[in-house]
Structure 1
């Protein structure tokens, strides 16, 4: 007897299987047929939910970014913390290793998964920049700081920070990590036109605590 499952349940099964296979075989080597065999479904069922393997990859990536975006939006709406704390906490919420276990991260950083990894970083910037812009604009409105190009500055900062702090791309020792963090804090201070060391202590406290 054929088992009929609800739409979201079947779709999530396909995504779960695809995610496993992407990490084991690599995105490029994994085929739609591999996914079909893993879930035990017909090709027509697969194409009912997804147009292509690329679309599946984008849905897998969205799982990571959706978790981060949900965290960030909660912080954004939290009236019990200052605007400065919101900014720092949202940056902290984007640490992708909090969303993905170490084994998966190691697989993602393999050469065969470069496209998947790149897509995650790309979508993280695309998703998070508008959220950060809201915090920046809140700070501008409250005259906490100034910012000439909120969206562009946040895109630049995110692209740099997410790439340079990615352990799969740059292998930094503890001292180098500290120097990079200091430089990134200095960069955001310049972007927001606040005095030097305005965020330094707050970044350190929140980064280590949360």
Structure 2
């Protein structure tokens, strides 16, 4: 008997399967036929949902981005917390380990998944920078700090922090990683023209 599934259910099934196969075998080595075989669907069914393997990859990347953006937007709307706390909350929201299986994250870091990894970082920086700019503007309005280039500084900070703290790119011990984080916080303080160590205590409170 033929099983007919709702559009979203079938689409998510294809994405879940493709994500697992990309992580296991690498994006380049995985073919549309591999996905078809695993999901047990015809080629016409696949192309009803996606035009290509590349479009599947983009949809998987979008999933990662949406997790982070959804969390950040909720924090942005919170009342009763300072701009400094909002920044820290949003940085914490970008840690998706609790939403993405740890094995999946480990696979994401492998060389064969470099394209998926790169696209994910690109999308997060692109989506998150404008959200952080709103927090920066709120802080400027409250005279908590000053910032000459909010968007550009947030792009630089995100690109640097996401790359330098990514264990799949730089393998460092815990002590070295903490020094990197301290340097990044120091850089943020200079970007926002606040006194040294203004954020460090808050950072340790939220990150620890």
TM-score range (shorter-chain normalised) is: over 0.9
> What is the alpha-carbon distance in structure 1 between the residues aligned to residue 41 and residue 184 of structure 2?
48
Runs of 4+ residues deviating >6 angstroms? none
Question: Which residue matches 2:164?
Answer: 164
Aligned residues: 208
Answer yes or no: is the 8 Å Cα contact 1:27–1:113 preserved in 2.
yes
How much has 1:68 moved relative to structure 2?
1.1
Q: Cα distance, 1:80 vs. partner?
A: 2.5
Q: Report the equivalent of 2:37.
A: 37
Equivalent positions of 1:78-157 (< 5 A) are 78-157=78-157
5+ long unaligned stretches in structure 1? none
State how far apart, in whole Å, the 1-side matches of 2:35 and 2:89 are: 37
Please report the RMSD computed on the Cα atoms of aligned residues, expressed in angstroms. Answer: 1.1
Query: 1:32: how far off?
Result: 0.6
Gaps of at least 5 residues in structure 2 are none
Q: Is the contact between residue 64 and residue 99 of structure 1 (CA under 8 Å) also seen in structure 2? A: no
For the residues of structure 2 that align with 1:133 and 1:98, how far apart are their CA atoms?
26
Between 2-11 and 21-30, the greater mean CA deviation after superposition: 2-11
> Is residue 21–residue 35 contact of structure 1 (8 Å, CA) maintained in 2?
yes
TM-score, structure 1 as length reference: 0.95
Distance 1:67 1:15 in 2: 15
